[in-house]
Structure 1
């Protein structure tokens, strides 16, 4: 039907040239109606194809909007357009531009690595504090962990400078009843306000293994940290009746 519509359009153009009264004639109206009817029939027979939208559609739209604005700026403010053009060229010369979505993924990966490094550093700090506590016992357990660490370091340095040696290590065989921390002391450990002594830690590991029905090893329990160890005992041990 398209050739017929084109033919009618050519006829209408020719009649306009040779007939001054063509615009007011009935033939003009009939030709217009026929051309319009043919055009509507063609639209019904050929539906519009769906245009696929790329994943970067939004980014492309933003880039196109900037392109249009820059084109208008070229005529309205040529000096500003030249500065903008120089800035864009410099960015392209300096290196590849990264898509915002890719940059967000890189930042998320970097953040995850930072969290992992921080957790590793925290575990290493806990291990160092435990080792220092074993090497320099006798510090009041109610002192905050950071202050207790500094105090043990001063004691260690003083003992080394005097050559007098350190206090005896904490490998003493004591009655379990004397080693076991109280619930208040366990709460302080769970809240991070104090740390366990070597004997208390060994007792807590043994107690936690029993409460977990031996489904976890001492290495796994210690890897979770003293706070988690104290919580296992607080959650699993019965609350003593008031005396």
Structure 2
């Protein structure tokens, strides 16, 4: 099966990714402007009109800023839970084609089975996504992708979604020491970022991944790196140790300045 996955943006300035499987093109989060998303899709050889759906994790601007521009396409569905919709809609001039899902209740969208699962973050009802597709036969093997970003810790449910994913996209947001020594952020913001409803540090993400047994991973993308309190080299050095534990998977760090995926 021909599957293409491309991270379009990955930082506090905006997060979005494109997943293309036969017969379906979806956007996961829309934290860039509509015009920027359209340009990035065009770079991938995809017209915005060919996009089949947008899936939103939560209402924060770095994950939903593009809804305003994309909503001009009246037939484009936006999947979100009710609390996220209620937080985003007052910011919009138009009402997009909302499709409401319930957190922790799976549903189907074309060939995709979608599992939205709860994550601990300081939003109204934030979720991660676990996508599955394929029939499981020789010509159409089962495949899966977990989108796990903006969370302060990983519950047992989140860890199980992480374990089962063949393509894992997970945040490694900050280096704890760099955040501690950062002079731009007030102490209250540092507490928010590092708290149990904030963001995963490099060490936290590494510990989570190292602890998981029975991994299904083929590719790991480490994303949502802070531009000020993290850097690609630190993440590369730490997570290169993960590949020394006998598992066969490729690991990539997503540069927050360019969204370029850099192999470890």
- TM-score range normalised by the length of the shorter chain: under 0.3
Higher strand share: 2
Q: Calculate the TM-score normalised by the size of structure 1.
A: 0.22
Larger RCO of the pair (alpha carbons < 8 Å, separation 6+) = 2
Query: If you compute each CA radius of gyration, which structure gives the higher value, 1 or 2?
Result: 1
Higher helix share: 1
